[in-house]
Every structure is written in structure tokens, then in C-alpha cells.
């Protein structure tokens, strides 16, 4: 029997099993989903088509979790939200308004243990994984705030999603559920620094969401210098797993590549990157580095980024330069949170 779990964090399938377990009907799970995600009620008492004793039973077994909005910072196209969890820890989510819809970048952990040299999030060691409901509530509370639908979700905020794999997968199943937020798998992206066994696992989930790999360097020597995870899972293993993902899902994979001045933005790096990804059903997203305090890396000059991009293009590697969102609202990973923690001291 499931005990005192958040009602938001539970997939419809698991909820069906729960109802069967208490001798009720499976379809109750769908009823509950409609109350939660269509009617957006915030208490079992508002589920008016349920009998009183069932409501009491649900209250015994489930809670209605929430997260509290602490600060919102906005510019024209980006809003950054800082939320406080029940145990007072703080996490952030970023809303981006694209011409194709509203997209949210959510956090998957409090802190991060991956320790990438250029990343602010990694400065705070992981305190704990986020629960499924804490991930879901980031989407729901931002939707509530803007009074509009969110059509795209990227799991690219603070944390390493594949270090919280099971919760992330349940979260994806819930937001994808037609009776919940109904966000299509093609509108859901998970980004990983390259935890190889989980790339294989995701390929077998039958989920077909977008996979983004934080590559950031075209060879092991450089990658190990800026991304500690490369010591555990070197490039050749990451690439093998990515090929497997593409073969099994037929989905195009994204390689993220932050442009760090004088580190990974040379012509040689561009050519090495070409040989690494050429022929794969993949594309490279070049990301201008968002400079952060206390970290010495600098963003590549625009001319350097364009030159890098041209080399990829000339060699038939599909690539884009990421449009910048939110540098005014500290939207790079971990920045808003970091500023506010520093502000508190």
C-alpha cells in the first residue's frame, strides 16, 4: 500500500493499481487526474463526484504537496522563478516565450554532483533529488502564474536528470498523459552530461522524448578537464550509447556545445567535432557561454562562434547557434539561486 505520497507525483498507471488494491475501480484514477489537471482542484474535498468515505481514504493515503513562489524575475521573453519547497530548500525554473509556444526549463535536483567546471549549479553539492511532484509543480505553478498553457518542457535546470532517473521518467509519463498536461513526447527534452547506462535505459522506455547530450568538447583530454563525468563515461562510450538511442528510437539527438573562449572554440576543435558526429542523425547546438561570477571561463567572441558554426556547416554537420534567453534574469543554470543564497548571507 502506498502511504502518504503526493497525489501529484503518481502516474495514472500506479494510481490504477492503488484503486484496484483498495477494491475500487481502475477508472477512478482517470477521474482523479481530471480533477487535478483539468479542474486544478487543490483539495480532495473539491472532488465532488467522489463518495465521502473514498475522500477520507484518499486523505489518509495521499497529500496535496505544493511549492511556494519566492521571487520572479522577468525580461521580455524570459521569466525566472525561484520556488521554495516544503523543507525550505530553493529551486529554480525558467519560462521562455518562443514563437512556437511557452517552454519551461525545470530543475531535477537540489544542487548537482556532476561538478562541471563551468557550471554554477555544481558549486552546490546535491542535497537531494526532487520528487516527481516537485518537478510537476514547477510546470503547474508557472502555468497558473501566466494563465497560459505550457507546451514544451526541457529538463535542463539545476541537477543531473539521469542521477534522478526513476522520478524523471515518472514525471515525463505524467506530463505526457492525455488526462494530465498532455505535452507531446516531441515537446519534451531531457539533457544529460552523459550518464551512459541511463542513455541505454531511456532508449528502452518506449518514450521517444528528445535527448540532448552536453558534449562541450570533442576529445577526452579536453572533456575530462571541464567535465568530471568524462572520467567515468568517456566520449567513445557516450557516442556508442547515443548511436544505440538513435537506432532504437529513430529520434534525432542534440549535442549541446557551450562556447568557452580559448578552451573549446578553436578551428581544430570544430574539425574534431565534425569527425565525432558526422553521419549521425544529430545536430549540434552551439551555446554562447553565460558568464557567471566566481567562474573564470569567458564566452567566445561572436566572430569565433560564427567561424566555428561555418566549419560545421561546410562539413555538413547540422548546427544552430542558440538564441540567447534570459542573461538579464540570471537564467543560466543555478544563477538566480546562487545570487539569492549569497544575498542571504
Name the CA radius of gyration of the chain, rounded: 21
Determine which residue in the list 138, 290, 319, 330 makes contact with ligand SAH, applying CB under 6 A: 290
Please say which residue, 37 or 162, places its beta carbon nearer to ligand SAH: 162
Per the annotation, the verdict on 112 as an active-site residue is no
- State how far the Cα of 40 lies from the Cα of 95, in Å rounded to an integer: 20
Strands 152-155 and 188-192: parallel
Window of 112-120, 166-174, 196-204, 310-318 that interacts with ligand SAH by CB under 6 A: 112-120
Strands 78-84 and 90-98: antiparallel
Nearest to 112 by CA among 337, 343, 322, 268: 337
Window of 12-20, 24-32, 185-193, 270-278 that interacts with ligand SAH by CB under 6 A: 185-193
Assess 249 for contact with ligand SAH (CB under 6 A).
Answer: no
- In the complex, the smallest distance separating the C-beta of residue 269 from ligand SAH, rounded to whole angstroms, is 16
Assess 332 for contact with ligand SAH (CB under 6 A).
Answer: yes
Exposure of 4 by Cβ count < 10 A (0-12 exposed, 13-18 middle, 19+ buried)? Answer: exposed
Instruction: Please report, as residue ranges, which positions from 21 to 80 form the binding site for ligand SAH (by CB under 6 A).
Output: none
Determine which residue in the list 131, 189, 292, 319 makes contact with ligand SAH, applying CB under 6 A: 292
Instruction: Give 98's contacts (C-beta < 8 A, 6+ positions apart).
Output: 152
Cell numbers given for 341? 543564497
Assess 222 for contact with ligand SAH (CB under 6 A).
Answer: no
- In the complex, the smallest distance separating the C-beta of residue 201 from ligand SAH, rounded to whole angstroms, is 16
Cell numbers given for 219? 576529445
Per the annotation, the verdict on 333 as an active-site residue is yes
Assess 118 for contact with ligand SAH (CB under 6 A).
Answer: yes
Catalytic option among 92, 134, 160, 256: 92
- Contact assessment for residue 283 and residue 228, using Cβ atoms and an 8 Å cutoff: no
Q: What DSSP character marks residue 122? A: G
Residues that bind ligand SAH (CB under 6 A): 114, 116, 118-119, 156, 160, 191-193, 214, 256, 258, 287, 289-290, 292, 332-333
Q: Which residues are annotated as catalytic? A: 92, 333
Amino acid at each position: 500500500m502506498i502511504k502518504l505520497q503526493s497525489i501529484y507525483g503518481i502516474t495514472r498507471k500506479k494510481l490504477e493499481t492503488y484503486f484496484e488494491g483498495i477494491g475500487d475501480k481502475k477508472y477512478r484514477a482517470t477521474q482523479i487526474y481530471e480533477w487535478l489537471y483539468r479542474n486544478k482542484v487543490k483539495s480532495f474535498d473539491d472532488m465532488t463526484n467522489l463518495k465521502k468515505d473514498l475522500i477520507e481514504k484518499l486523505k489518509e493515503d495521499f497529500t496535496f504537496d505544493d511549492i511556494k513562489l519566492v521571487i520572479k524575475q522577468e525580461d521580455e521573453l524570459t521569466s525566472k522563478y525561484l520556488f521554495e519547497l516544503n523543507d525550505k530548500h530553493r529551486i529554480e525554473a525558467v519560462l521562455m516565450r518562443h514563437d512556437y509556444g511557452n517552454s519551461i526549463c525545470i530543475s531535477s535536483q537540489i544542487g548537482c554532483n556532476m561538478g562541471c567546471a563551468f557550471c554554477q549549479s555544481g558549486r552546490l553539492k546535491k542535497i537531494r533529488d526532487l520528487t516527481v511532484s516537485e518537478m510537476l509543480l514547477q510546470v503547474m505553478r508557472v502555468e497558473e502564474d501566466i494563465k497560459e498553457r505550457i507546451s514544451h518542457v526541457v529538463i535542463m535546470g539545476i541537477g543531473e536528470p539521469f542521477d534522478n532517473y526513476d522520478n524523471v521518467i515518472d514525471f515525463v509519463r505524467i506530463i505526457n498523459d492525455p488526462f494530465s498536461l498532455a505535452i507531446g513526447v516531441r515537446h519534451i527534452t531531457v539533457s544529460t552530461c552523459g550518464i551512459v547506462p541511463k542513455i541505454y535505459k531511456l532508449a528502452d522506455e518506449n518514450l521517444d522524448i528528445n535527448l540532448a547530450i552536453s558534449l562541450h568538447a570533442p576529445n577526452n583530454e579536453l572533456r575530462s578537464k571541464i567535465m568530471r563525468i568524462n572520467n567515468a563515461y568517456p566520449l567513445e562510450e557516450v557516442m556508442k550509447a547515443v548511436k544505440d538511442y538513435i537506432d532504437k528510437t529513430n529520434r534525432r539527438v542534440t549535442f549541446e556545445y557551450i562556447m568557452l573562449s580559448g578552451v573549446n572554440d578553436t578551428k581544430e576543435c570544430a574539425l574534431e567535432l565534425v569527425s565525432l558526429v558526422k553521419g549521425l542523425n544529430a545536430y549540434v547546438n552551439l551555446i554562447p557561454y553565460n558568464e557567471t561570477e566566481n567562474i573564470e571561463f569567458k564566452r567566445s567572441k561572436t566572430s569565433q562562434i560564427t567561424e566555428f558554426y561555418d566549419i560545421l556547416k561546410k562539413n555538413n554537420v547540422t548546427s544552430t547557434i542558440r538564441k540567447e534567453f534570459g542573461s538579464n534574469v540570471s537564467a543560466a543554470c543555478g544563477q538566480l539561486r546562487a545570487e539569492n543564497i549569497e544575498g542571504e548571507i
